[in-house]
Amino acid sequence: MAQVLTVILNWRTAPMTLQATEAALRAMQGMAGAITIVDNDSGDGSFEALVAEVAARGWDRGAVPVRVLQSGWNGGFGAGNNVGIRAGLPGGARPDYVYILNSDAFPAPGAIRALLDHLQAHPDTGFAGSYIHGEDGVAHRTAFRFPSIASELEGAARTGPVSRLLRAHIVALPIPQTTTRVDWLAGASLMMRQDVLDRIGLFDETFFLYFEETDLCLRAARAGFPTDYVRESEVMHIGSVSTGMKTWRRIPAFWLDSRSHYFTKNYGHLYAAAATLAHVAGGVLWRVRRFVQRRDHLDPPHFLRDLIVHSVTRAGRQQRAGAPSPKDMARPAA
């Protein structure tokens, strides 16, 4: 029987993490494997509370045992999940599949089994993710194309003619109504084949938050292991509980860092610069339209300025560190 390791990352959301764990335990009934909760150095007593509660509920002695690990430092989403993945199953055994679940995501009883069945039925597929909906039952857009220069222009412009012209490059796909192949999926509920992780590596820990699952799915696709959206796997997701994204008053530096690293690593410095220029051009177009039509801002305050300053500052740091040759700048990173 295939062994599934479920990893749930906690950062200062212990009560909700326990709810997610309880939902995962129900969804893993009849399956072989274990659940690992990783506390990402919350520093608020979460780790101690989780350890005590898991023991009190007897989850550490169940058919699907639950254990709690301390990451020791908050390296972000990818680094925290890597702690759980590297630890493997209790006793150090290697799982066949790794399933990552957000601490604010709650799989339906058959959700994890649906992902496992899909990967077992499709051995060439590397990753499989769920249909995600909110507390209100409204579906979330979690299936995407890989970002590109064209998608940066389209996403920033938010203008009908531009979107129609570049519709094949729009990052957010329409919500699939059936199981289908996609470029990448949000990491709130994602099952990964361990063999693929062994081949391509785990999450790139340079990303603190955002773009890490995009990068992982891209690396898997380049290695010949695509990602599938499994409609039969349903997960309720609250969203942004740990990140606070819904209350951002300014785009955080780590988002800008992650975006820049994604483009530079995977496509080279020149491509990353062109992607930023495309975003700025689209952003200017949107601001002209917004001014004329008196539309809402939509972007966080000072977003375009922050993007430009970040890009220029990062380029300056790279130049001081030793500018790459034109040949290097055009070559995608490994």
Closest CA to 157 of 331, 28, 288: 288
Burial class (CB in 10 A: 0-12, 13-18, 19+), 126: buried
Task: Give the residue-averaged pLDDT of 272-287.
Answer: 96
Task: Give the residue-averaged pLDDT of 307-319.
Answer: 84
| Mean pLDDT (the chain, rounded) | 93
> What pLDDT was estimated at residue 246?
53
Query: How do the domains of the chain map onto residue ranges?
Result: 3-140+175-241, 247-324
> What pLDDT was estimated at residue 317?
75
Task: Give the residue-averaged pLDDT of 196-211.
Answer: 98
Distances (CA, A) of 306 to 12, 154, 244, 277: 28, 19, 19, 13
Contact 23, 106 (CB under 8 A): yes
Closest CA to 140 of 116, 104, 98: 104
> What pLDDT was estimated at residue 41?
97
Task: Give the residue-averaged pLDDT of 34-61.
Answer: 98
> What pLDDT was estimated at residue 333?
37
pLDDT (tens digit per residue) in 146-196: 999 999 999 999 999 999 999 999 999 999 999 999 999 999 999 999 999
At 293, the pLDDT band (50, 70, 90 cuts) reads confident
> What pLDDT was estimated at residue 324?
47
**Beta strand 143-144 pairing with 184-185:** antiparallel
Burial 95-119 (b: 16+ CB within 10 A, else e): bbbbbbbbbbbbbbeebbbbbbbbb
Read off the tokens for 220. Answer: 């898997």
Q: What percent of the chain is modeled with pLDDT above 90? A: 85
Task: Give the residue-averaged pLDDT of 32-55.
Answer: 98
Three-state SS at 323: coil
> What pLDDT was estimated at residue 332?
39
* CATH top class, domain 3-140+175-241: alpha beta
> What pLDDT was estimated at residue 329?
37
Residue 199 confidence (pLDDT) above 60: yes
